[in-house]
Structure 1
Amino acid sequence: MPVLPHSTARAAAGRTAEETVRSRLDKLRDARVVVTGGGGLVGSRLVALLQEAGAVVTVLDRMDAYPESGHETFGVARSGARLVVGDVRDRDTFGALVRDADFVVHAAAYADVAACTRRPDIAFRANVEGTQVVLEQTARFPVRRLVLVSSASVYGDGQPDVEGPQVFHEDQPLFPMSVYANCKLWAEHQTRLMLGASSGTEYAVVRYFSVYGEPQIPKPGSHSWMVPWLSLQARLGRPMRLNGGGVQVRDLVHVDDIAEATALALTEEQMAEQTVNIGTGRPTSVREVADLIAPYFPGARRIVTPRPEGDPLGGYASTERSRDLLRWQARIPVEEGVERYVRWLLATPDAVPRWLTEETPGA
């Protein structure tokens, strides 16, 4: 049998893995799935995947998380899914949607570390009150399983006595360093307390590591989502700002991989009452990301800026549990994912948000 070239072999393995995921998602055919926060980057990608699997999808989203045409870029309004513009805190609205649902993915959140730090009151209403309403209403009806979207931010900087990049295990002590992370940890505990055997509704928790991928665009005042931030600054001819010198480590996981793992968390039997990291198991520093982006923009410069409050030094995912319980692992390496993002950015003239072009450089 001839030996395939490395790139060909990897592509073939990727196709096999994709076929396996798609065949396992056949369980969702004709299932009714409610996705809160389905209008964002991850939510819209998840909705598309669920629809490909034959699920009947309803999205509940306020559709106000991004300025200008951000949600139009993500395309959930054109996906064919039923879109309900509303707030998860509205008991009547969410209750009416979940009454006939088979599954729920709760991804709606005030999902930005910097924004939650500036406005903890909004974070509380969206991330705590909103989650409580979702859990209360879900427990009232015969929903098979709820998947709660959590975050690797619950780990903070990890174990205080460990130097260098840390691998984060699901059962290690948690040290949230921000309002956002604290909200996510509360949501995990509350989900465990309200759902499960006593309610008749299973739950699963997925902790996302650093999500990126086209067509991701940043929000004003945010320091999250470093791939689009650094890429956009370079495209505009501005220096790439390395907060804290860019020594922070992230586990960059592409949005396509995130969507697959989240969909599988709905159906994999072993995921009931389990919490699983969704990451690649590979640490990448912010400076390394800048180094991957720079060759696409001749003359790209880097400057060092202060590390923002609540920005963890970070770590990377232990992936044993996702391989065992989800029977899944990320397939898109960071080099490929960054290249895909930059090429999309270069090919999309209107991708740069107007607010960013009007922002004073260095502000």
Structure 2
Amino acid sequence: MKILVTGGAGFVGSFLCENLHKSGYDIRIFDNYEPQVHAASHGNLGNLLQPNGLPIKGVEIVYGDTRSPTQLEAALKDVDAVVHLAAQVGVGQSMYEIHRYVDHNTVGTAVLLELLASRKHNVKKVVVASSMSIYGEGGARCSHCGDVTPTLREAEQMKLGDWEVRCPSCNRTASPIPTNELKPVLPTSIYAISKRDQEEMCLVVGRAYDIPSVALRFFNIYGPRQSLGNPYTGVAAIFSSRLLNDRAPVVFEDGNQTRDFVHVTDIVQAISLALAKDEANGQVFNVGTGRPTSIKDVANLLARKLRRDIAPQIENKFREGDVRHCYADISKIQRYLGYKPAVELETGIDDLIAWAEDQQAEDRFDLAAAELAKRGLAR
């Protein structure tokens, strides 16, 4: 089989392409090398290149933009499956670069799907990268009302430093529970809306044209090769960049908000299973670990592992669209596909740090924070 991986030179894509190639697939990598996330051309693909810089046998590397029908149609030639990872990533930035995010993510996916709907092709499966961000707030339980679907916390509540989620019916504080795929999606950013678009469009077109399609809702991915210079995504990478420059990680709210941190190799495991198993067809799956970790604990863990005696800077401020708690219920992907997360956070952080210490970490967080503050998106 030959597989087209859009965004294949990126953080997740490069690990996926290595894994698929080792498994015997031919790979066509399609990427626009977005400067915000690519430090250097082909920088993540060293393991797929010969000493002369050309791709190894069974690997093609194509520069292209998913918004270009001509480029994408050529990339689709003779491929048996598509893994669609290409996207602009970053919640905060999406709230003011609205056109760019919708153009790349929603329109780029529409171009791909229109080609599959209107041209001859051999594509027998599409796997699309969705995101936990489409949920908005994660699952919650009220002691009085039971399981509830919380809405985004109001600014007036946040200004008082009242950070926890409230029951939408009785206004009591609700406790976080694992978020499963049946929870209604309530995206709270343009990025999240565009990821919902990508997911829903792929599933709808796949069903209409009998192209088995799978949407994987990735939780908070971390690991080697995640851009240390992109201040809008990947809190572990952002914190690492700060610490490597002897600066404190900046933590919004009180630091007790929780996320599900999943290592990039477990993301690759999930994509590979989705490609290989018919049980995945037409389904949506969470991809995480099922374990919540507070943002403050991640900052402290990284400082300890990097041997920096630097405490996180707790801002007690909030950003528009941020959610309080969201961690995955992974029982569905375990049951359908046999997925089993293999990398504990403590071990995975070692992996990230071993890579990060050899990189030139450019800390751009202050510039991004100033931009959000100027626009009233952080206060």
Provide the TM-score with structure 2 as the length reference.
Answer: 0.81
More helix by share: 1
Aligned counterpart, 2:246: 237
Question: Is contact 1:156–1:314 with CA below 8 Å preserved after alignment?
Answer: no
Aligned counterpart, 2:4: 34
User: Within the alignment, does 1:93 sit opposite 2:71 as a pair?
Assistant: yes
Q: 1:301 to 1:105 in 2, by over 3 A?
A: same
Aligned counterpart, 2:301: 292
1:276-324 Cα distance to aligned partner (Å, 9 max, x none):
0010000011011012112232321221222222222231111111101
User: Within the alignment, does 1:258 sit opposite 2:258 as a pair?
Assistant: no
2:34 to 38, 43, 64: 64
User: Within the alignment, does 1:55 sit opposite 2:25 as a pair?
Assistant: yes
Aligned counterpart, 2:160: none
Cα distance between partner residues in 2 of 1:265 and 1:50: 12
Q: 1:272 to 1:220 in 2, by over 3 A?
A: closer
Cα distance between partner residues in 2 of 1:46 and 1:108: 13
Alignment of 1:122-271 (within 5 A): 122-139=100-117, 140=119, 141-158=121-138, 159-160=149-150, 161=167, 163-196=174-207, 198-222=208-232, 224-271=233-280
The share of aligned pairs that are identical, in percent, is 29
The CA deviation at 1:32 is 0.7
The CA deviation at 1:133 is 0.8
Question: Is contact 1:115–1:221 with CA below 8 Å preserved after alignment?
Answer: no
User: Within the alignment, does 1:302 sit opposite 2:302 as a pair?
Assistant: no
Cα distance between partner residues in 1 of 2:114 and 2:365: 43
Q: Secondary structure at the match of 1:246?
A: coil
The CA deviation at 1:200 is 2.6
Alignment of 1:338-353 (within 5 A): 338-346=349-357, 348=358, 350-353=359-362
Q: Which stretch shows the higher mean deviation, 232-241 or 266-275?
A: 232-241
User: Within the alignment, does 1:83 sit opposite 2:61 as a pair?
Assistant: yes
User: Within the alignment, does 1:44 sit opposite 2:14 as a pair?
Assistant: yes
| 5+ residue gaps, structure 1 | 1-30
Q: 1:67 to 1:214 in 2, by over 3 A?
A: closer
1:313 to 324, 348, 351: 324
Aligned counterpart, 1:21: none
Q: 1:169 to 1:358 in 2, by over 3 A?
A: closer
Question: Is contact 2:246–2:308 with CA below 8 Å preserved after alignment?
Answer: no
Cα distance between partner residues in 2 of 1:71 and 1:43: 14
Question: Is contact 2:300–2:312 with CA below 8 Å preserved after alignment?
Answer: no
Cα distance between partner residues in 1 of 2:93 and 2:325: 19
Q: Which stretch shows the higher mean deviation, 88-97 or 269-278?
A: 88-97
1:109 to 80, 84, 87: 87
Aligned residues: 327
Q: 1:209 to 1:269 in 2, by over 3 A?
A: same
Q: Secondary structure at the match of 2:239?
A: helix
Cα distance between partner residues in 1 of 2:88 and 2:369: 26
Q: Which stretch shows the higher mean deviation, 336-345 or 286-295?
A: 336-345
Cα distance between partner residues in 1 of 2:319 and 2:340: 31
Cα distance between partner residues in 2 of 1:326 and 1:75: 28
Cα distance between partner residues in 2 of 1:358 and 1:313: 21
Cα distance between partner residues in 2 of 1:174 and 1:209: 14
